[in-house]
Amino acid sequence: MKKYLVSLVMMAMMAVAIPFATATSVDAQTRYTRSGRTYVTRTYTTTYKRPSFYKRHRNAINIGVGTAAGALLGGIIGGGKGALIGTLIGGGGSALYSYKIKPKRTTYYYR
Protein backbone atom coordinates (compact mmCIF):
# COMPACT_ATOMS: atom_id res chain seq x y z
CA MET A 1 0.00 0.00 0.00
CA LYS A 2 2.87 2.32 0.81
CA LYS A 3 4.35 1.81 -2.67
CA TYR A 4 1.08 2.80 -4.32
CA LEU A 5 0.74 5.90 -2.17
CA VAL A 6 4.29 7.01 -2.97
CA SER A 7 3.71 6.31 -6.67
CA LEU A 8 0.52 8.40 -6.73
CA VAL A 9 2.22 11.29 -4.95
CA MET A 10 5.14 11.18 -7.40
CA MET A 11 2.77 11.15 -10.40
CA ALA A 12 0.89 14.16 -8.96
CA MET A 13 4.18 16.03 -8.52
CA MET A 14 5.16 15.26 -12.12
CA ALA A 15 1.76 16.44 -13.38
CA VAL A 16 2.31 19.78 -11.65
CA ALA A 17 5.93 20.12 -12.82
CA ILE A 18 5.29 19.45 -16.54
CA PRO A 19 3.59 22.82 -17.33
CA PHE A 20 6.58 24.67 -15.87
CA ALA A 21 8.95 22.81 -18.20
CA THR A 22 7.04 23.89 -21.33
CA ALA A 23 7.13 27.66 -20.78
CA THR A 24 7.06 29.69 -23.98
CA SER A 25 7.06 33.36 -24.89
CA VAL A 26 4.01 35.51 -25.49
CA ASP A 27 2.17 35.98 -28.78
CA ALA A 28 0.08 38.97 -29.80
CA GLN A 29 0.22 41.60 -32.46
CA THR A 30 0.79 45.21 -31.57
CA ARG A 31 0.65 48.25 -33.82
CA TYR A 32 2.01 51.64 -32.88
CA THR A 33 1.09 54.62 -35.01
CA ARG A 34 2.80 57.93 -34.48
CA SER A 35 1.92 61.03 -36.44
CA GLY A 36 4.34 63.87 -37.13
CA ARG A 37 3.43 67.52 -37.35
CA THR A 38 1.39 67.60 -40.53
CA TYR A 39 2.02 64.88 -43.08
CA VAL A 40 4.44 62.24 -41.69
CA THR A 41 2.83 59.01 -40.47
CA ARG A 42 4.82 56.01 -39.33
CA THR A 43 3.46 52.59 -38.42
CA TYR A 44 5.47 50.18 -36.27
CA THR A 45 4.35 46.57 -36.05
CA THR A 46 5.64 44.12 -33.47
CA THR A 47 4.54 40.49 -33.29
CA TYR A 48 4.58 38.42 -30.10
CA LYS A 49 3.77 34.77 -29.49
CA ARG A 50 0.50 33.96 -27.68
CA PRO A 51 0.80 32.95 -23.99
CA SER A 52 0.69 29.23 -23.28
CA PHE A 53 -2.50 27.56 -22.03
CA TYR A 54 -1.00 27.28 -18.54
CA LYS A 55 -0.07 30.96 -18.39
CA ARG A 56 -3.56 32.00 -19.48
CA HIS A 57 -5.37 29.71 -16.99
CA ARG A 58 -2.78 29.37 -14.24
CA ASN A 59 -5.04 30.09 -11.26
CA ALA A 60 -7.78 27.67 -12.31
CA ILE A 61 -5.30 24.88 -13.08
CA ASN A 62 -3.46 25.31 -9.77
CA ILE A 63 -6.69 25.25 -7.78
CA GLY A 64 -7.98 22.20 -9.67
CA VAL A 65 -4.77 20.24 -9.17
CA GLY A 66 -4.62 21.16 -5.48
CA THR A 67 -8.24 20.15 -4.95
CA ALA A 68 -7.77 16.83 -6.75
CA ALA A 69 -4.59 16.05 -4.84
CA GLY A 70 -6.28 16.86 -1.52
CA ALA A 71 -9.27 14.67 -2.38
CA LEU A 72 -6.99 11.80 -3.45
CA LEU A 73 -4.86 11.88 -0.33
CA GLY A 74 -7.86 12.43 1.95
CA GLY A 75 -9.66 9.49 0.32
CA ILE A 76 -6.65 7.22 0.74
CA ILE A 77 -6.11 8.23 4.34
CA GLY A 78 -9.65 8.64 5.66
CA GLY A 79 -12.17 7.20 3.18
CA GLY A 80 -15.22 9.16 2.01
CA LYS A 81 -15.27 11.68 4.81
CA GLY A 82 -11.52 12.14 4.50
CA ALA A 83 -11.92 12.81 0.77
CA LEU A 84 -14.38 15.61 1.51
CA ILE A 85 -12.08 17.14 4.11
CA GLY A 86 -9.07 16.73 1.80
CA THR A 87 -10.98 18.42 -1.03
CA LEU A 88 -11.73 21.45 1.13
CA ILE A 89 -8.20 21.69 2.50
CA GLY A 90 -6.57 21.16 -0.93
CA GLY A 91 -8.81 23.72 -2.62
CA GLY A 92 -8.30 26.28 0.13
CA GLY A 93 -4.54 25.81 0.22
CA SER A 94 -4.14 26.03 -3.54
CA ALA A 95 -6.37 29.13 -3.71
CA LEU A 96 -4.26 30.73 -1.00
CA TYR A 97 -1.12 29.90 -3.00
CA SER A 98 -2.54 31.15 -6.31
CA TYR A 99 -4.06 34.41 -5.11
CA LYS A 100 -2.04 35.51 -2.07
CA ILE A 101 1.35 33.82 -1.83
CA LYS A 102 2.30 33.87 -5.52
CA PRO A 103 -0.17 36.07 -7.42
CA LYS A 104 -0.24 36.27 -11.18
CA ARG A 105 1.55 39.27 -12.64
CA THR A 106 -0.65 41.46 -14.78
CA THR A 107 0.52 41.58 -18.38
CA TYR A 108 -0.96 44.14 -20.71
CA TYR A 109 -1.31 43.36 -24.39
CA TYR A 110 -1.89 46.23 -26.77
CA ARG A 111 -3.88 45.83 -29.99
Q: pLDDT digits over 21-76, tens only? A: 665 554 455 555 555 555 555 666 777 778 888 888 989 999 999 999 999 999 99
Quick one: average pLDDT of 96-107?
Answer: 80
**For the chain, how many residues are written?**
111
The answer to the question of residue 75 being in a domain is yes
The answer to the question of residue 48 being in a domain is no
Residue ranges making up the domain that contains 86: 54-111
Helix, strand, coil content of the chain in percent (nearest 5): 60, 15, 25
**92 vs 79: CA distance, rounded Å:** 20
The answer to the question of residue 3 being in a domain is no
What are the backbone dihedrals phi and psi of residue 28, each rounded to the nearest 5 degrees, phi first? -165, 170
Q: Which residues pair with 33 in a beta bridge?
A: 43
For the chain, the domain total comes to: 1
pTM flag (> 0.85): no
The answer to the question of residue 59 being in a domain is yes
The answer to the question of residue 109 being in a domain is yes
To 5 degrees, how large is the angle CA 43–CA 49–CA 52? 150
